[in-house]
Amino acid sequence: MENIDTVKVWGEVLNSIKVSVSPAIFSTWFTETYIADLKQNDDRVSIEIGCKSNFAKNTIETRYFGLVQDTLIKSLNSKCDLIFSVKQLPSSVPQSNNLPPLFQTISSVSENTKNSLIRSGIRPSFSFDNYAVSSSNQMAWAAAEAVSKNPGSAYNPLFIWGGVGVGKTHLMNAVGLYLLNIDPSVQILACTGEQFTNDIVEGIRNKSTQLFRNKYRKLNVLFLDDVQFIAGKDAVQEEFFHTFNALVGNGAQIILTSDRPPSEISKLEERLRNRFEAGLIVDIAPPDFELRCAIVQIKSKEKGLELPMDFVQLIAGNIDSPRKIEGFLVRLFSEVRLKNSEIDTRLIESLLEKGGENSVASSSKKSPDEIIDIVCKYFSLSKKTITGQVRSRNIVRPRQILMYLLRTQFQLPLEEVGRLIGNRDHTTVMHAVEKITQLASTDVNTREYISGIKNKL
C-alpha cells in the first residue's frame, strides 16, 4: 500500500457517502473535507480527516464516524484509525466537482413542465434536492422518494404526519415535482383539506358534483394537505371515501398529510381511518440542531447569501422550526438591505432578542410568574433560590436561562426582567441573555434545557 493517492481515495469515499446521505447533508458537511494525513502502521492505516470548521468536525465525528470508517476500510482494504481535525481545504486539493444540485427553480424546467406545475398546484421551490435530511425525518424522506420512483404501488396511500413547519408539504411537493419533470403530462393535483371541502360544497350547491368528480377521480396522483380538516364533515368524508376508492382502484397514488396520525384524528370515519392505515404512516419529528443548521444554510443560499458557520449555529441554536428559520432570514436580509449594513453577531443577536421567530408570547397564556414556576420545577429549585444571591454554577445557569426566556418569550424590558429575578441590574440580564444565546448554539445541554422548558409551556 505504498504511494497512496489520497485525493483519489477520498474522492471514492465521498462518492460512496453521497449515496448514503441526502444531497443537502452531503453538501453541508462533506464537500470541504479531505485527507490531511495518511500513515501506514503495520496492518493498520492512520488517517487524519481535515474539516472546514469545528462544528463540521464534531458533527461528522459524532454522527458519521462509522460511515466514513467503513467506507475507507472498503476502499483501502485495510483497518483504519481516524482522527478528525479542523483544517481548511488546501487550494491544491480540488473540491468535489460531481456534487448534486442543491437548488432547483422554475427557470430550470421546460415550458411544458412549468404549465403542469401551475395546473397541478406544485411549488417548484420544494424539491428533494433542497430538502435537508437527518434522523428526525429520514424515514419520511425515504418513503417519499420511493413513491416518486414507483407511484401507485410503493406505498399507497402514504400518510405523513407531524407538527407545523416540519416539512410535510415540502416532501409531498417534491414527489410531484419529480414526477412532472419526468412526464409533464401526468395528472397531478395538490390541494388542502379545506380546498377539497370547498369544492364539494360548491358542487352540491350548484348541482355540479359530476364536474367535481371529473376533476378528482381521473387523476394519476392526488396530494391532500391537512386531511384532518375533513373530519367531522359527513358529506365531505362520504365523497372523499368514494374518490379515494376510485383513485386507488385506477392505480393512482395518494399522499396525505396531517398534524396527527389517523388514529388520533377525532370524528374521522372508521372506514377512512382503515384505508389510511392500510398504507404507510410516517411521522416527521421537530428538526434537531444539525438539521436546523443545514436548513439555515440551504435557505440562506436560496436567498443568494452564504452565512459563516458560526452565524449558522447561532441562528439554528435559537430557532426551533424550519418555517421560523425562513422568516428570521427574511427579516435578517431585509435589515441588511434596508440599512446597507453587514451581517454580524450583534445584528443576529439583536433580532433574536426581539423574539420575532421563537417567541410564544402571542399564543401563550402563561404569565411571567408562571414561567418562573415552570423553570424552578424543571431544575428542582425553589423560587427563593433562583431569585436569590447564591452564585454556584448549578443555580446561576438556570437563573440565566430564566432571564433569557423572560426576555425572548415575553419581550420584557431588561429592567423588568431584573426586577422579577431579585431586583438585579439590567446589565446582569443583558449578560445572561447574550450568554444563553451563545450557549444555545454550541452546548447541547443548554439547547435541551430550553427545548424542555418550552415544551412545558
> Which residues have a Cβ under 8 Å from the Cβ of 419 and sit 6 or more positions away?
none
Burial class for 128, CB neighbours closer than 10 Å (0-12, 13-18, 19+): buried
Question: Could you give the CA distance from residue 188 to residue 122 in angstroms, rounded to a whole number?
Answer: 8
327 is in an annotated binding site: no
User: Would you say 446 is a known binding-site residue?
Assistant: no
Say which amino acid occupies 278. Answer: A
Alpha helices, H only, 150-207: 168-182, 193-205
Place of cell 412532472: 180
Cβ–Cβ < 8 Å for 428, 438: no
- Say if residues 331 and 383 touch (Cβ distance below 8 Å): no
Q: In what order do the strands lie in the sheet with 158-162?
A: 188-192, 221-225, 253-258, 158-162, 280-284
Asked whether residue 169 is marked as a ligand-binding residue, the answer is: yes
Task: Check if the beta carbon of residue 295 is closer than 8 Å to that of residue 322.
Answer: yes
Spatial distance between the Cα atoms of 167 and 140, rounded to a whole number of angstroms:
10
Gap between the Cα atoms of 275 and 272, Å rounded: 5
The answer to the question of whether 165 is labelled as a binding residue is yes
Annotated binding site for ATP: 165, 167-169
Annotated binding site: 165, 167-169
